[in-house]
Structure 1
């Protein structure tokens, strides 16, 4: 009986020793840290490009939105799909709006851990040809990285101008 106990202890020690001597499994290399400031600059560049095209009346060339994007605005139903959004933007550009300029400022970005999604919080300003503010407000945009490039999948804005 004593020998069985000793054998059991020796066997347990041998198993523990074998487990302890196993080589460590290599941990996967850590993902490179995301550069939030660089992503913010990239998003601001997208906003600048959008404003440039919009101000030039070339909204048909805006590659800003994903084909399946949805845009939420005040006092109207959501616009679903890039085509509907671009048509809405085109309808807002007429002879009376020529010379108006829109600009955007990216205030904050919130980046997902893998960098595939970015929520942008920003400020917009629409001025007339004499640089008088027609509309100002804030917006929120959800970007998703598709084919290596950020595109808008959801956006919404709110004017901070008083109601007439």
Structure 2
């Protein structure tokens, strides 16, 4: 009987030691810190570049949209694909829009924990050649990091000007 108690104690001790000394579960590595302010500056720079190209009428050079982007605007169906979006923007650039300037202000950014997606909320202003506002409003954009660069995959805007 004494022998069985000693064997049980030794077996229990062995099991306890194997569990206690076994390999520890590795905790997942912490995600790298995301610098929200730096990303906000990067997004504002993308908006400034877009406005610069748009104002210069150089829409063919806009790298702002992903090829599979979708743009939602008021009173029309969504525009699907970069080509459709750029064609729509080009159609808005005619002789009557000469001298008009658009500008964007990034108000807020919401960054995913890995920094691969950013939702931007901003304000836009379209002014004529005398700096009188023609249209103003707000927008939301979903950026996704692709090939190391943020591109727009979804956007939508809403004018805050009264209907005529």
User: Under a length normalisation based on structure 1, what TM-score does the superposition of the two structures give?
Assistant: 0.94
Give the Cα–Cα distance (whole angstroms) in 2 for the partners of residues 28 and 112 of structure 1: 18
**Does structure 1 retain, via aligned residues, the 8 Å contact 2:31–2:113?**
no
**Unmatched 5+ stretches in structure 2:** none
Deviation at 1:24, TM superposition (A): 3.7
Deviation at 1:25, TM superposition (A): 4.9
List structure 1 segments (4+ residues) > 3 angstroms apart after TM superposition.
22-29
Give the Cα–Cα distance (whole angstroms) in 1 for the partners of residues 31 and 147 of structure 2: 19
Q: Which residue of 1 is the match for residue 61 of structure 2? A: 61
* CA displacement, residues 75-102 of structure 1 (integer Å, 9 cap, x when unaligned): 0000000000000000000111010000
The residue matched to 1:34 in structure 2 has which SS?
coil
Q: Which residue of 1 is the match for residue 79 of structure 2? A: 79
User: Under a length normalisation based on structure 2, what TM-score does the superposition of the two structures give?
Assistant: 0.94
The residue matched to 1:139 in structure 2 has which SS?
strand
Deviation at 1:120, TM superposition (A): 0.4
Deviation at 1:5, TM superposition (A): 3.6
**Does structure 1 retain, via aligned residues, the 8 Å contact 2:32–2:114?**
no
Give the Cα–Cα distance (whole angstroms) in 1 for the partners of residues 11 and 63 of structure 2: 68
Q: Which residue of 2 is the match for residue 20 of structure 1? A: 20
Q: Which residue of 1 is the match for residue 152 of structure 2? A: 152
**Unmatched 5+ stretches in structure 1:** none
Higher mean displacement: 107-116 or 12-21: 12-21
Give the Cα–Cα distance (whole angstroms) in 2 for the partners of residues 75 and 124 of structure 1: 18
The residue matched to 1:118 in structure 2 has which SS?
strand
